[in-house]
């Protein structure tokens, strides 16, 4: 059986590395990777070909490939995007637009819809104030679509671009022919936590940063208040969601954009969990007003009923399972050689 050609952009990022390892373990894929940086050792041998450089400048190169699936993960995350807005717009919007055009072109030319998987974010939401956030409960996909950040605006707009290229590009009358069109699917991810990689440039980063610091016996000053609450997810569940949504039959999907959720925790609850596993952890709270403002505009939790109904989404890890069976055991192994690590055995 021939291998499916898959493109993973942002391959060096946290989702990229975990996804590439998963695709490779499944087998049956020819994985082409793209990133500004060279591939890290952990995934180097898993990529059939690495396209290194600025995607926007080198988009023509991508037209030469027959990709069946594109995972477009390259992005400038929320905190970084806020201090370099123009650069973020170029990476997050221009890059996505160019790839969508390429995928739409190939879908039409070869009459075979390219699957385009796009990681959107809880940053697509925005509450006017903390009271509104706390009163909102589980937020549905079409509620509070008023992002406060460049990153959130970029993600929300790219969802719309994806819809445009998958439904309306060329403005063909939908009754004319069965439309081929690009097959765009987006997931609004909560904060993701991996035991194997560290995030950079995001605002949900305080969760994973705190835990990685505790595991290494390093002091950590959390940049949001103790009562700050948003939803989080184990990286293996994020990868699972991408794989399940990729494989879902197109006709079962009524929407192009889906919330997914796993568990919702305050920063104070993270600290409690960190202390339980690493009693010598040194964690303080020193809120940064700008980053606090960003997280205060994001939902405490989201309603993922649509994903559950339409593609049987179900996380494997709730908070207890995340800490007890994934994060703490893996992180203890990861930092076991560090002399400063003192854990409760």
- Chain residues binding ligand SER by CB under 6 A are 77-78, 121-123, 151, 189, 191, 202-204
CB of 191 to ligand SER, least distance (A): 5
Q: Are strands 4-9 and 69-72 parallel, antiparallel or unpaired?
A: parallel
Do 42 and 87 contact (CB within 8 A), yes or no?
no
Radius of gyration of the chain (CA): 20
Tell me whether residue 80 or residue 115 sits nearer to ligand SER (CB atom).
Answer: 80
| Closer residue to ligand SER in complex, CB, 106/155 | 155
Q: Cβ closer to ligand SER: 7 or 88?
A: 88
Element (H, E) at 155: helix 150-163
| Spatial separation of the C-alpha atoms in residues 162 and 185, rounded to whole Å | 8
Residue nearest ligand SER by beta-carbon distance: 202
* Cα separation, 65 vs 45, whole angstroms: 20
H helices of 12-143, where? 14-26, 41-44, 59-62, 78-83, 85-89, 95-109, 130-135
Strands 115-121 and 301-302: unpaired
CB of 202 to ligand SER, least distance (A): 3
Cα–Cα distance for residue pair 36/90, rounded to 1 Å:
13
**Taking the complex as a whole, how short is the minimal distance between the CB of residue 290 and ligand SER, in angstroms?**
13
* C-beta closer to ligand SER: residue 17 or 78: 78
Closer of 32 and 74 to ligand SER (Cβ): 74
Q: How far apart are CA 218 and CA 175, in angstroms?
A: 62
Are residues 182 and 113 in contact, defined by beta-carbon separation less than 8 angstroms?
Answer: yes
Structure tokens given for 268? 């104070």
Residue number, 121 or 259, with CB nearest to ligand SER:
121
CB of 201 to ligand SER, least distance (A): 7
Q: How far is the CB of 53 from ligand SER (least distance, A)?
A: 24
In whole angstroms, the minimum distance from the beta carbon of 41 to ligand SER comes to 24
């Amino acid at each position: 059986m021939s291998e499916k050609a898959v493109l993973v952009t942002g391959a060096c990022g946290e989702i990229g590395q975990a996804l590439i390892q998963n695709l490779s373990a499944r087998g049956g894929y020819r994985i082409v990777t793209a990133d500004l940086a060279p591939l890290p050792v952990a995934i180097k041998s898993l990529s059939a070909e690495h396209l290194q450089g600025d995607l926007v400048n080198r988009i023509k190169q991508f037209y030469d490939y027959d990709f069946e699936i594109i995972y477009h993960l390259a992005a400038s995350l929320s905190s970084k995007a806020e201090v370099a807005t123009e650069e973020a717009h170029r990476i997050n919007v221009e890059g996505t637009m160019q790839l969508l055009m390429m995928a739409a072109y190939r879908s039409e030319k070869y009459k075979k819809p390219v699957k385009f998987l796009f990681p959107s974010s809880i940053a697509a939401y925005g509450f006017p104030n903390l009271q509104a956030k706390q009163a909102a409960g589980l937020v549905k996909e079409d509620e509070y679509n008023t992002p406060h950040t460049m990153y959130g605006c970029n993600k929300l707009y790219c969802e719309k671009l994806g819809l445009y290229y998958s439904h309306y590009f060329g403005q063909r009358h939908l009754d004319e022919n069965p439309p081929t069109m690009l097959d765009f699917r987006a997931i609004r991810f909560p904060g993701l936590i991996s035991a194997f990689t560290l995030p950079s440039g995001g605002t949900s980063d305080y969760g994973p940063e705190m835990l990685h610091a505790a595991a290494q016996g390093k002091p950590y000053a959390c940049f949001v208040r103790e009562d700050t609450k948003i939803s989080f997810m184990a990286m293996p569940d994020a990868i699972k969601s991408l794989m399940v949504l990729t494989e879902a039959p197109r006709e079962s999907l009524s929407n192009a954009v889906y919330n997914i959720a796993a568990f919702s925790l305050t920063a104070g609850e993270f600290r409690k969990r960190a202390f339980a596993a690493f009693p010598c952890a040194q964690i303080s709270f020193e809120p940064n007003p700008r980053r606090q403002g960003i997280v205060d505009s994001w939902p405490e939790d989201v309603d993922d009923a649509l994903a559950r109904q339409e593609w049987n989404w179900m996380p494997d890890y709730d908070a207890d399972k995340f800490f007890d069976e994934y994060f703490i055991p893996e992180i203890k192994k990861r930092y076991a050689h560090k002399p400063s690590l003192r854990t409760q055995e």
